[in-house]
Amino acid sequence: KAGVTQTPRYLIKTRGQQVTLSCSPISGHRSVSWYQQTPGQGLQFLFEYFSETQRNKGNFPGRFSGRQFSNSRSEMNVSTLELGDSALYLCASSVGGLGEGTQYFGPGTRLLVL
Amino acid sequence: GDSVTQMEGPVTLSEEAFLTINCTYTATGYPSLFWYVQYPGEGLQLLLKATKADDKGSNKGFEATYRKETTSFHLEKGSVQVSDSAVYFCALRATGGFKTIFGAGTRLFVKA
């Protein structure tokens, strides 16, 4: 079974631009979560989607948004990029529902904001 | 709120040495516990998990036991290899919860 895929793997943007990252979950998984990883803050939860609905959101500004499609694929968008948005963005999928919720991670998208 | 605390790194060991990375947690109820590993330039890989008290997760020679009485989930390996050099994250997720909570990560260096 194919794992979680994320595109693109690397991105370079300039301040003020916006960016869209994509995540395709493992087949059959209905939950997708996004995390931001930086050397200073570690792994921080952004949001989780299940069946096209956002179930939970982390403590990030409104510039960070996401959505999930009917095929469970998810996108996250960051508008008006800031230097501090440079990070590795990780997507994780799980079966969803009320189970123990093991999450499987993709390789990440590394975003550099200049 | 729920939280995970793991020992600070880096941890430097010689090949074939015994490894312990301590992890303790704070949570209400009965969370599932996980260890993830991250190799340089890659995403997180699930190493092992345990879903209830006294469960032992194991994989690739690594083991961790879910100890509810001490709220701990320490990672151990009897004989480390250079290829085990990576960052290890302890994590928890409440049953039916919507997010996984991670520790800060422990970097392991194994010398030949």
Q: Do B99 and A45 touch (CB under 8 A)?
A: yes
Number of helices (H), then strands (E), in chain B: 0, 12
Instruction: Tell me what pLDDT residue A97 has.
Output: 67
Average pLDDT over residues B24-37: 92
Chain B contact present for A57, CB below 8 A:
no
Q: DSSP labels for chain B?
A: --EEEE--S-EEEETT--EEE-EEEE-SS--EEEEEEE-TTS-EEEEEEE-STT-EEEETTEEEE-BTTTTB--EEESS--GGG-EEEEEEEE-TT-S--EE---EEEEEE-
Within 13 A of A64's CA, how many CA atoms are on the CB side?
Answer: 18
Question: How far does B112 lie from chain A, in Å, by closest CA?
Answer: 27
Residue A102's pLDDT band (boundaries 50, 70, 90)?
confident
Give me the amino acid identity at B110.
Answer: V
Handedness of CA A108, B8, B106, B108 (dihedral sign): positive
**Is residue A53's pLDDT more than 70?**
yes
How far, in Å, are A61, A88, B6, B75 from residue A103 at the CA level?
24, 17, 20, 19
Instruction: Tell me what pLDDT residue B30 has.
Output: 85
Give the lowest-confidence range in A10-19, B35-44, B95-104. Answer: B95-104
Average pLDDT over residues A34-49: 92
Tokens of A30: 């209905």
What is the 3-class SS of A20-70, one letter each residue?
Answer: EEEEECCCCCCEEEEEEEECCCEEEEEEEEECCEEEEECCCCCCEEEEECC
Strand partners, B25: B4
Q: Do A105 and B98 touch (CB under 8 A)?
A: no
Higher pLDDT, B8 or B34: B34
The 10s digit of each residue's pLDDT in B60-94 is: 999 999 999 999 999 999 999 999 999 999 999 87
Torsions phi, psi for B90 (to 5 deg): -90, 145
**Is residue A98's pLDDT more than 70?**
no
Q: Do A48 and B97 touch (CB under 8 A)?
A: no
How many residue pairs bridge chain A and chain B with CB atoms within 8 Å of each other?
Answer: 59
Instruction: Tell me what pLDDT residue A70 has.
Output: 95
Whether B92 and B34 have beta carbons less than 8 Å apart is answered as yes
Q: Do A108 and B43 touch (CB under 8 A)?
A: yes
Q: Which residues contact A109 (CB under 8 A, 6 or more apart)?
A: A6, A7, A8, A9, A10, A11, A21, A88, A89
Length of chain A (residues):
114
The pLDDT mean for chain A works out to 92
Q: Do A98 and B42 touch (CB under 8 A)?
A: no
Distance CA B110, CA B83 (A): 8
Distance CA B78, CA B64 (A): 12
